[in-house]
């Protein structure tokens, strides 16, 4: 893996890019599901994300990249070491881990270390992809093709933030808090509602119809294919700008204010749309806050809410078999109603 | 695209197929590959032989069978080598072994979405990422793919996830005149072109023309113009030029864009994405286009802009019967959506295709997979002997120690079952007749659905609204009982009937079944959705329901039971994207046959 396509060079697809950046600003939001047409740069955008993320602090020598500042959420080992004195840390890049199709369960959850087991006869735990993704991102391309038993596993871990391994005589638990990013083509099949629910935001991508954008997409991709390094260098400045924006957004997040009026509006929107449970409102609030933070605003406004209403609620609507319009249209209608247009 | 054509066009087809092979050979990884739609036979063999002749000598060529396991496709633990070495040894998998070469995929029309997805992923990233059997390995891989597609039916084809990423779609399934003259290019020319390729420049005009061309042909995916750009470069390199000229752009449009066309640029049926203002309107008759294809494009259209030339070249390469085929293809696409759920295979005890192994205890309906169990046990042998104690050492020194956690059982997959929903118009005088037909067809279908494990439901609509006569069932006895006393007569609430059938279908889909809707009606709607009489409103509502039905992408069959085929029924079928069948005096045998063939597609 040499150079990946720069994030800033992705033409169009504003909603997808925004959703990914918002989830980077607030990892607690629960990730992004990107569903849509073929060849729209879904996986390109996610794979480009790694280059944008500001480095994070991690405990030196910890296999799970525990945060030295949040010891309560750290792994057993780190907590034990913390009791003996201050922990050493270093800066590491935020992991963006690809969960490839065809991965076996043992590599996802972790398993007995084969090498050491065979050569020394030692029972040791070898962390899997979930451990590697801790505090970072876990990306599943073609998420609707993922094997059922892996889906079950992910649903469980994503909800609890902890990976419990009970296999091959091992009994291990370690933190596994990651932002789940999935992409896929709806024609390959639908997602289980339980998995759908784990994603904070859901984005629909469509092939751009406007000929100028289409030409630009092809031109940039062609340029990149022929000269990856040169192309990446050309966009480095733009990428850096976005990277800074994300870093600032993360820093400001805690101090963003949400007025009661905005909360009320969010609740009204959810009621009109008949969204089940509180998750919808909660996600909307968080996403609006992350958006405000990303855009450098100090107070969340109705405008922020409007912008994130569709990605936050789209996958939470109950399907009505006799309603011809899609979720997006229904949300737009509700937004228009709430904001009085 | 497999209409038999006249001899000249066919030899042109063959020439294009060879040209595609040459362009692919110049840049296998860039073009990503070819879908070769052609049944096994001399034409295919000849083409493959030609391709082999074009590839430079040490190019690895591998054939991947349809049933390849992940452990061979992506790699995994090499069992025998690991046992011999006493430490884990990775098997790198076919894709990695073929790095820098060409891979043939057999029978891609039967390929599962899962395998296609894995290969597509490798094409996208250029990496084979193996996270299997306790091993992690990432290998850079560049390869070209020849996807062999032996499909006959329109919707029996190479998975979209794959064909979308492969540059050339070559169709040799028609009657072909296979020219046996000396090939236009040889391996030397290809080798020279490969050296030249990195230097080939492509101007803005060419890029513009290919993008506009793709849009005007209704090709939505942006991979198509990108692949066309690469093909144009390969074409220039093959002809020894370091710059893409008009001829190369035309070749790319013909070989890459035309086979993906979803609309004719000049046709009244607008491309799904309304052609952009810049797109030229090629207002020429079909014949003129065919002619321009035969002649040198440049001479005839000396004044035309490159955009127009591209469009015409592409349009000329689209076979004449395209529009009807487009309809079929559209139907196929929608049906694919409908069967998207049937891609979600149901795990079942012993039926279906084996689909890998998982941990589990054998017994009951679960079968032990011996090889996988041994594979799981193999790496631990040394360790188990160490902590297993002396008695194992002495008694089973030469045996393999297997523990319960090693047990692997075979997983099977099975297509989800089908639910056939009969929505029967029970209004008016001919109702009894129609219901009798439906009843007969239901009984016939049920008779063989024990084998296919499918279900049937019957809905009748008359007067105020629809009634569910037979809830989804597999039981022949129940069907006979509930269909025995059928009421008939009254008005025709067509919209209500369609809605009720859709609701039933939607429920079935949610349960993981594949619904098929069979609508028996003469189309004479006269009761609106709200239950009030009135022909105009009733027809409007029926069409609305039909359009919604189409958006849901179910497989549907509309059986026109009127004595003479009714235009409104035909329109209804068209709006529903349902297959239309005029069956004035249908007998149950014909009807059940039609349903069965609809289900089989």
The pLDDT tens digits of the residues spanning A152-210 come to 888 889 888 889 888 777 888 898 999 999 998 877 766 777 788 788 899 988 888 88
Which chain A residue has the Cα nearest residue B404? Answer: A168
Q: Per the structure, how many domains does chain B have? A: 4
List phi, psi (to 5°) of B354: -65, 140
Percent of chain B with pLDDT over 70: 69
At B104, the pLDDT band (50, 70, 90 cuts) reads very high
Report the residue from B140, B207, B548 with minimal CB separation from A218: B207
Of B289, B320, B342, the residue at which a domain comes to its end is B342
| pLDDT for the residue A252 | 92
Domain boundary among B414, B440, B472: B414
Among B8-17, B49-58, B551-560, the range scoring the smallest mean pLDDT is B8-17
Q: Which domain holds residue B574?
A: 418-600
B415 contact A CB<8A: no
In chain B, what residues touch A210 (CB-CB under 8 Å)? 276
Same domain, yes or no, for B16 and B55? yes
A44: containing domain: 7-55+93-205
Nearest CA in chain B to A169: B405
Query: Do the Cβ atoms of B103 and B144 come closer than 8 Å?
Result: yes
Query: Residue A121: is its pLDDT beyond 80?
Result: no
CA B524/CA A196 separation, integer angstroms = 43
> Of A139, A174, A205, which closes a domain?
A205
Q: Is B593 part of a structural domain of the chain?
A: yes
The answer as to whether B256 is a domain residue is yes
Note whether ipTM > 0.90 here.
no
Of B223, B347, B502, the CB nearest to A321: B502
- Phi then psi dihedrals of residue B64, to 5 deg: -105, 120
Residue A78 maps to a domain: no
C-alpha–C-alpha distance, residues A297 and A259, integer Å:
13
Q: Flag whether residue B134 sits within 8 Å of chain A, measured between CB atoms.
A: yes
Per-residue pLDDT averaged across B423-435, rounded? 70
A279 carries an active-site annotation: yes
Name the residue in chain B with its Cα closest to that of A4.
B125
Inter-chain residue contact B117 with A145, CB threshold 8 Å: yes
Whether B231 is covered by a domain: the verdict is yes
Where do we find the tokens 């609620």? A313
What DSSP element (H or E) covers B62?
strand B61-64
On whether both A260 and A131 belong to a single domain, the answer is: no
Tell me the CATH number at B94: 3.40.50.300
Determine, for residues B405 and A167 on separate chains, whether the beta-carbon distance falls below 8 Å: yes
Q: Is residue A108 part of a domain?
A: yes
Q: What is the pLDDT of residue B420?
A: 84
Residue A211: inside a domain, yes or no? no
Does the CB of A107 have a partner CB in chain B at under 8 Å? yes
Q: Is residue B191 part of a domain?
A: no
pTM tops 0.80:
no
Partner-chain residue, chosen from A39, A100, A103, that has the shortest CB–CB distance to B223: A39
**Better pLDDT: A60 or B595:** A60
Looking at the fold, whether B388 and B460 belong to one and the same domain comes out as: no
**Residue B505 is part of a domain; what is its CATH number?**
3.40.50.410
Is there a single domain that holds both residue B238 and residue B281? Answer: yes
* Same domain (yes/no): B215, B122: no
Report the residue from B129, B221, B551 with minimal CB separation from A39: B221
pLDDT score recorded for residue B332: 40
Q: How far apart are CA B104 and CA B124, in angstroms?
A: 18
Could you give the 3-state DSSP secondary structure of residue B579? strand
| Cα Dmax for chain B | 92
- Residues 6 or more apart whose Cβ sits within 8 Å of residue B514: B338, B339, B341, B342, B415, B416, B417, B418, B419, B508, B555
Q: B381, B478 in Cβ contact below 8 A? A: no
A263 and A194 in a single domain? The answer is no
Q: Is residue A227 part of a domain?
A: no
A129 touches chain B (CB under 8 A): yes
A211·B215 Cβ contact <8 A? yes
Question: Chain B, 263-322: which have a CB under 8 Å from a chain A CB?
Answer: 273-274, 276, 278-279
**In chain B, which residues have their Cβ closer than 8 Å to the Cβ of A126?**
134
Which residue in B135, B276, B386 is closest to A121 by CB distance? B386
At residue A198, φ and ψ (nearest 5 deg) are -75, -20
* pLDDT interval class at B486 (50, 70, 90): low
Q: A20 near A29, Cβ under 8 Å?
A: no
Contact across the interface for A106 and B133, Cβ inside 8 Å: yes
What average pLDDT is seen over chain A?
Answer: 86
Residue A234, in any domain of the structure: no
Q: What CATH number does residue A162 fall under?
A: 3.40.50.300
Does pLDDT of A74 surpass 60? yes
Higher pLDDT, B511 or B179: B511
Q: Which of A103, A214, A219 sits opposite B132 (nearest CB)?
A: A103
User: CB–CB of B88 and A115 under 8 A?
Assistant: yes
Reported as a single tens digit per residue, the pLDDT across B221-252 is: 889 999 999 999 999 999 999 999 989 999 99
HSE-up of residue A2 (Cα within 13 Å, Cβ side): 11
> What is chain B's alpha carbon radius of gyration, rounded to the nearest angstrom?
29
Mean pLDDT of A264-286: 86
Residues A146 and A280 in one domain: no
Residue B194 in domain: no
Are A39 and B340 within 8 A, CB to CB?
no
Q: Which residues of A touch B88 (CB under 8 A)?
A: 114-115, 118
Question: pLDDT at position A236, please?
Answer: 92
The distance of A266 to chain B (nearest Cα, Å) reads 30
Residue ending a domain, choose from B285, B313, B342: B342
Interface check for A190 against chain B (CB to CB < 8 A): the answer is yes
pLDDT higher at A309 or A3 = A309
Statement to judge: residues B594 and B451 lie in one domain: yes
Chain B contact for A13, CB < 8 A?
Answer: no
Interface of B with A in 537-576 (CB under 8 A): 544, 547-548, 551-552
| Residues B555, B19: Cα–Cα separation, whole Å | 39
Q: Where are the alpha helices (DSSP H) in B457-519?
A: 476-484, 494-510
* Per-residue model confidence (pLDDT) at position A68: 84
Residue B261 pLDDT greater than 60, yes or no: yes
B170 inside domain: yes
Nearest-neighbour CA in chain B from A104: distance (Å): 5
- When divided into structural domains, chain A yields a total of 2
Q: Are residues A174 and A308 in the same domain?
A: no
A159 is a domain residue:
yes
Written as six digits, the tokens of B149 are: 């597609």
pLDDT at residue B601 in the model: 54
Give the angle subtended at the CA of A172 by the CAs of A169 and A174, to the nearest 5°: 160
Q: Are residues B5 and B140 in the same domain?
A: yes
In a domain, B513, yes or no: yes
pLDDT in tens, B435-472: 677 677 767 766 655 445 577 888 888 877 788 888 88
Residues B164, A105: C-beta atoms closer than 8 Å: no
- Average pLDDT of the residues in A11-23: 91
Question: How many CA atoms, within 13 angstroms, populate the side-chain half-sphere of residue A109?
Answer: 25
Residues B372 and B451 in one domain: no
Shared domain for B72 and B24, answered yes or no, is yes
Say what the pLDDT of residue B333 is.
39
Helix then strand count (H, E) for chain B reads: 26, 18
The per-residue pLDDT for B148 is 92
Q: Which residues of B touch A111 (CB under 8 A)?
A: 134
Contact status, residue B219 vs residue B257, Cβ threshold 8 Å: yes
Q: Would you call A324 and B547 a contact, using CB atoms and an 8 Å cutoff?
A: yes
Residues B372 and B264 in one domain: no
Catalytic residue among A63, A79, A116, A279: A279
Cβ–Cβ contact B601 with A under 8 A: no
- Residue A282 is part of a domain; what is its CATH number? 1.10.8.80
Q: Is A166 in the same domain as A46?
A: yes
In this predicted model, what pLDDT tens digit does every residue of B369-418 receive, in sequence order? Answer: 777 777 777 777 777 777 655 544 444 455 677 777 777 777 665 556 77
């Amino acid at each position: 893996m040499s150079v990946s396509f720069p994030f800033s060079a992705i033409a169009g697809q504003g909603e997808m890019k925004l959703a990914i950046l918002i989830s980077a600003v607030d990892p607690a939001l629960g990730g992004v599901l990107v569903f849509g047409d073929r060849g729209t740069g879904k996986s390109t955008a996610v794979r480009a994300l790694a280059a944008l993320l500001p480095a994070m602090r991690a405990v030196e020598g910890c296999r799970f990249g525990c945060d030295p500042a949040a010891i309560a959420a750290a792994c057993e080992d780190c907590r034990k070491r913390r009791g003996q004195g201050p922990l050493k840390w270093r800066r590491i890049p935020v992991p963006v881990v690809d969960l490839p199709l065809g991965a076996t369960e043992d590599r996802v959850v972790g398993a007995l270390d084969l090498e050491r087991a065979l050569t020394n006869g030692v029972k040791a735990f070898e962390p899997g992809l979930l451990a590697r993704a801790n505090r970072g991102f876990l990306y599943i391309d073609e998420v609707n093709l993922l094997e059922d038993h892996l889906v079950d596993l992910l649903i469980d871990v994503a909800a609890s933030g902890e990976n419990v391994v009970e296999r091959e005589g091992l009994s291990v638990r370690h933190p596994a808090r990651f932002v789940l990013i999935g992409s896929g083509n709806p024609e390959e099949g639908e997602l289980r509602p339980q998995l759908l629910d784990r994603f904070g935001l859901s984005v629909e991508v469509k092939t751009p119809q406007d000929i100028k954008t289409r030409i630009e997409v092809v031109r940039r991709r062609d340029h990149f294919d022929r000269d990856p390094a040169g192309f990446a260098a050309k966009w480095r400045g733009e990428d850096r700008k976005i990277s800074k924006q994300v870093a600032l957004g993360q820093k400001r997040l805690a101090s963003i204010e949400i007025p009661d009026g905005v909360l009320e509006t969010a609740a009204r929107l959810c009621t009109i749309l008949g969204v089940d449970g509180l998750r919808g409102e909660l996600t909307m609030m968080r996403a609006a806050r992350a958006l405000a933070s990303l855009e450098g605003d100090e107070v969340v406004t109705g405008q922020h809410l409007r912008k994130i209403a569709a990605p936050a609620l789209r996958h939470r609507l109950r399907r009505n078999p006799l309603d011809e319009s899609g979720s997006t249209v229904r949300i737009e209608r509700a937004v228009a109603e709430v904001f009085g247009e | 695209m497999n209409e038999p054509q006249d001899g000249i066009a066919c030899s042109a087809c063959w020439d294009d197929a060879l040209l595609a092979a040459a362009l692919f050979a110049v840049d296998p990884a860039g073009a990503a590959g070819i879908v070769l739609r052609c049944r096994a036979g001399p034409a295919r063999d000849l083409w493959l032989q030609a391709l082999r002749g074009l590839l430079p000598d040490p190019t690895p060529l591998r054939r991947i069978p349809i049933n390849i396991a992940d452990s061979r496709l992506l790699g995994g633990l090499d069992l025998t080598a690991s046992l011999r070495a006493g430490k884990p040894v990775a098997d790198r998998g076919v894709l990695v072994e073929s790095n820098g070469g060409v891979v043939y995929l057999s029978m891609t029309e039967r390929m599962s979405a899962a395998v296609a997805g894995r290969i597509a992923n490798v094409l996208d990233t250029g990496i084979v990422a193996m996270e299997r059997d306790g091993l992690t390995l990432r290998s850079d891989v560049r390869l070209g793919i020849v996807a062999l597609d032996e499909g006959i039916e329109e919707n029996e084809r190479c998975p979209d996830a794959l064909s979308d990423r492969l540059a050339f779609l070559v169709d040799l399934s028609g009657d072909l005149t296979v020219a046996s003259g000396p090939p236009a290019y040889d391996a030397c020319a290809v080798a020279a072109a490969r050296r030249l390729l990195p230097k080939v420049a492509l101007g803005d005009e060419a890029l513009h023309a290919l993008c506009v061309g793709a849009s005007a042909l209704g090709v939505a995916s942006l991979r198509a113009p990108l692949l066309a750009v690469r093909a144009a470069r390969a074409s220039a390199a093959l002809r020894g030029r370091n710059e893409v000229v008009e001829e190369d752009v035309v070749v790319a449009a013909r070989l890459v864009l035309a086979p993906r066309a979803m609309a004719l640029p000049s046709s009244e049926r607008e491309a799904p994405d309304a052609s952009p203002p810049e797109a030229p309107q090629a207002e020429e008759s079909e014949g003129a286009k065919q002619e321009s294809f035969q002649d040198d494009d440049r001479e005839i259209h000396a004044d035309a802009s490159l955009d127009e030339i591209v469009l015409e070249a592409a349009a000329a390469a689209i076979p004449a019967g395209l529009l009807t085929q487009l309809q079929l293809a559209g139907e196929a696409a929608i049906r694919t959506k409908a069967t998207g759920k049937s891609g979600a295979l149901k795990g079942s005890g012993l039926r279906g295709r084996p689909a890998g192994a998982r941990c589990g205890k054998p017994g009951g309906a679960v079968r032990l997979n011996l090889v996988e169990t041994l594979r799981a046990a193999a790496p631990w042998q040394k360790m188990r002997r160490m902590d297993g104690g002396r008695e194992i050492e002495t008694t089973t020194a030469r045996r393999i120690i297997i523990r319960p956690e090693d047990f692997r059982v075979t997983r099977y997959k099975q297509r989800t079952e089908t639910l056939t929903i009969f929505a029967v118009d029970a209004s008016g005088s001919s109702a009894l007749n129609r219901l009798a037909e439906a009843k007969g067809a239901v009984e016939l279908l049920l008779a063989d659905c024990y084998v296919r494990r499918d279900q049937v439901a019957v809905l009748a609509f008359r007067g105020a609204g629809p009634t569910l006569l037979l809830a989804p069932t597999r039981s022949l006895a129940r069907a006979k009982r509930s269909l025995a006393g059928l009421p008939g007569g009254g008005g025709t609430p067509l919209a209500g009937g369609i809605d009720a059938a859709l609701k039933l279908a939607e429920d079935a889909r949610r349960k993981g079944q594949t619904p098929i809707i069979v609508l028996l009606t003469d189309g004479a709607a006269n009761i609106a959705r709200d239950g009030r009489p009135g022909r105009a409103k009733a027809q409007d509502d029926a069409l609305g329901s039909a359009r919604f039905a189409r958006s849901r992408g179910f497989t549907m069959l509309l059986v026109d039971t009127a004595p003479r085929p009714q235009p409104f029924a035909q329109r209804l079928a068209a709006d529903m994207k349902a297959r239309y069948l005029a069956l004035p005096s249908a007998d149950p045998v014909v009807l059940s046959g039609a349903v069965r063939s609809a289900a089989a597609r």
